[in-house]
Amino acid sequence: MGLQVATHERADGTRCMADAGLVRRSLRGDTAAYDVLVRRYQRQVYSLLYRMVGNVDDAEDLLQETFIRAYCALRTFRQDASFLTWLYKIASNLSIDLIRSRRAKAATSLDDEIEAGREPATHDRDSAPEASVIRGSVSEIVHDAIMALPDRYRRVVLLRHVAEMSIEEIAELLGMPTGTVKTHLFRARGLLRECLRPVLGMDGHGHGTEQPA
Amino acid sequence: MDMEQNSRLSEFPEQFSLCLRVRAQLQDYVEGYLDLVTAETVRAHLAVCALCNREHAEILETIRLVRTLPFVSPRRDYAGPITAAIAARPHSPWRRWWPRARRPSL
């Protein structure tokens, strides 16, 4: 077929096809090209989803849905943003929808439980098997600190610092004023900083042990 | 701000007031939301105040830790199932490609 596509060099010296070329080939019906895109980005997208929704099963369902929706909208992908950023936006939308529907269901079942005179069940995140997925001390502490944040703070901090969306983009996605997004983000970072204080600077990138003047 | 920092700063009320103002602006400063003059005031203060500088460094470090969290892998490779699901959709342009590409060899 002789299709010319741009490639770029990896750190290990091998060459890989650029996303734009793979997108073009996918649109022409090349399933192998879309396979490459899925393999290239499934870990990144899954990591965001897993940390947004808090469990493996939902994150894997949404991972598949994200790539299927991305394919269906592939013609609308404009290359002013990276393909990963675009995937992150689709994944974020899906996880927000899931969180909202969960909340609606939880409110209904809580009403049912109260109506039936039973003690409502609580979800213990720490006892979930996926809580041990992350290994390595600092990473584990950071992961746990993020997962311990209230939902409204966690999603904003992940959208800002993992999906790298702007505060304005997050406000649009969540249907909130930018001021509220900023408040949630700043409070989330404050809570994280308190939790992470013992490990700040432990992995050699931090600010060290500066003494007050 | 912890108690030790509070007690040190309360010995110097003017410094304390400036520190409080700067600290209230640090998150906006990190996000680039301050106007040039205010940002310059914050930058100048951070250059001379170790306590505020430490708070600023902790915010940056917290962000870095979130940004550099290792990726988590799904339990399986989803490339095949995703491509198959797309090809199986009623109006998929891959319907004419996929069976040929994915037909199991007998």
Q: CB–CB of B19/B9 below 8 Å?
A: yes
Helix (H) or strand (E) holding A7: strand A7-9
Q: Given the structure tokens 């209904």, which residue do they identify?
A: A108
pLDDT at B104 over 50: no
Which of B63, B80, B86 comes nearest A68 by C-beta? B86
B65/A142 Cβ within 8 A:
yes
B27/A199 Cβ within 8 A:
no
Specify the higher pLDDT residue, B60 or A121: B60
d(CA A197, CA B57): 11
pLDDT at B88 over 70: yes
Min Cα–Cα distance to chain A from B71, Å: 5
Tokens of B12: 């110097």
Q: What is the mean pLDDT of residues A101-111?
A: 74
Q: Of the candidates B89, B76, B60, B4, which has an alpha carbon nearest to the alpha carbon of residue A192? A: B60
pLDDT number for residue A209: 38
Helix (H) or strand (E) holding A185: helix A178-196
Tokens of A181: 């997004």
Q: Of the candidates A93, A54, A30, A63, which has an alpha carbon nearest to the alpha carbon of residue B94? A: A30
d(CA A59, CA B79): 15
d(CA A115, CA A113): 5
Alpha-helical segments (H) within chain B: 3-10, 13-31, 36-48, 50-67, 79-87, 98-102
Min Cα–Cα distance to chain B from A91, Å: 15
B74/A42 Cβ within 8 A:
yes
pLDDT at A80 over 80: no
A31/B102 Cβ within 8 A:
yes
Question: What 3-state class would DSSP assign to A213?
Answer: coil
Q: Given the structure tokens 């600190």, which residue do they identify?
A: A145
Q: What percent of chain B has pLDDT over 90?
A: 52
Residue B18 forms contact with A (CB below 8 Å): no
pLDDT number for residue A205: 58
* Nearest chain B alpha carbon to A36: B79
pLDDT number for residue A3: 44
pLDDT range class, residue A198, cuts 50, 70, 90: confident
Taking contacts as CB-CB distances below 8 angstroms, the residues of chain A near B74 are 42-43, 46, 56, 59-60, 63
pLDDT at A211 over 50: no
A146/B66 Cβ within 8 A:
yes
pLDDT at A175 over 90: no
Beta bridge partners of A15: A9
pLDDT number for residue A101: 86
Taking contacts as CB-CB distances below 8 angstroms, the residues of chain A near B64 are 205
Min Cα–Cα distance to chain B from A28, Å: 8
A47/B71 Cβ within 8 A:
yes
pLDDT number for residue B13: 67
pLDDT range class, residue A90, cuts 50, 70, 90: very high
Q: Of the candidates A174, A127, A133, A124, which has an alpha carbon nearest to the alpha carbon of residue A154? A: A174
